[in-house]
Structure 1
Amino acid sequence: MYAQQQLAYAPTPYIYTPSSNLTATINLDEEVRLADNTAERDLYESLAEIYSIIVTLDALEKAYLRDSIKETEYTETCERLLRQYKNSLADETVASAFGDLEAFKAEWDLEVPRATERLRIGLPATTIEHTHAHLPPGTPGPSRASSQYPTTSTPAPSGAHAIVSASENFITLFDAIRMNMLSKDTLHPILVEIIQSVNKVTDRDFENKGKIVQWLITLNQMRAAEELSAEQAREVNFDLNAAYDGFKGVLE
Structure 2
Amino acid sequence: MSFKSTQQYLASVNGTSSPAQSYAGVSFGGGSNSSRDMPTINLDEEIKLTTNNRERAQMDNMADLYSIIVVLEHLEMAYIRSAITHTQYTPACGQLISQFKTASSLLGDVVPDLEKFMKEYNLDCPAAVKRIKIGVPATVEFGGGVSNEANGHKTAKYVAETVQNYITVVDALKLGMAAVDEIHPLLADLIQSLNNVRSLPADFEGRAKVREWLIKLNSMRASEMLAADEKRQLEFDLESNYTAFRGWLDSQ
Q: By the TM > 0.5 criterion, same fold?
A: yes
Q: How do 1:107-186 residues align onto structure 2 when only pairs under 5 Å count?
A: 107-129=120-142, 152-154=145-147, 157-158=154-155, 166-186=162-182
**Displacement of 1:170 after TM fit?**
3.0
Q: How do 1:68-79 residues align onto structure 2 when only pairs under 5 Å count?
A: 68-79=83-94
Contact in 1 for aligned 2:141/2:192 (Cα 8 Å): no
Identity level (%): 35
**Displacement of 1:118 after TM fit?**
1.4
Greater helix percent: which structure?
A: 2
Q: Does 1:62 align with 2:77?
A: yes
Q: Indicate the larger mover: 69-78 or 168-177.
A: 168-177
Contact in 2 for aligned 1:172/1:190 (Cα 8 Å): yes
> Structure 1, residues 225-245: CA drift from partner, whole Å, max 9, x if none?
333332222221111112333
Q: Indicate the larger mover: 164-173 or 183-192.
A: 164-173
RMSD value over aligned CA atoms?
3.5
Q: How do 1:85-124 residues align onto structure 2 when only pairs under 5 Å count?
A: 85-91=100-106, 94-124=107-137
Contact in 1 for aligned 2:179/2:226 (Cα 8 Å): yes
**Displacement of 1:69 after TM fit?**
1.7
> Structure 1, residues 36-78: CA drift from partner, whole Å, max 9, x if none?
4433332222211111110011111212222222122122211
In structure 2, C-alpha distance between the alignment counterparts of 1:247 and 1:84, rounded to whole Å: 34
What is the SS of the residue equivalent to 1:157? helix
TM-score normalised to the size of structure 2? 0.70
Unaligned 5+ segments in structure 1 are: 1-9, 131-150
In structure 2, C-alpha distance between the alignment counterparts of 1:186 and 1:42, rounded to whole Å: 29
TM-score normalised to the size of structure 1? 0.70
Say if 1:100 and 1:164 are closer, same or farther in 2 by CA, change over 3 A.
Answer: same
Contact in 1 for aligned 2:19/2:30 (Cα 8 Å): no
Unaligned 5+ segments in structure 2 are: 1-13, 21-28, 32-38
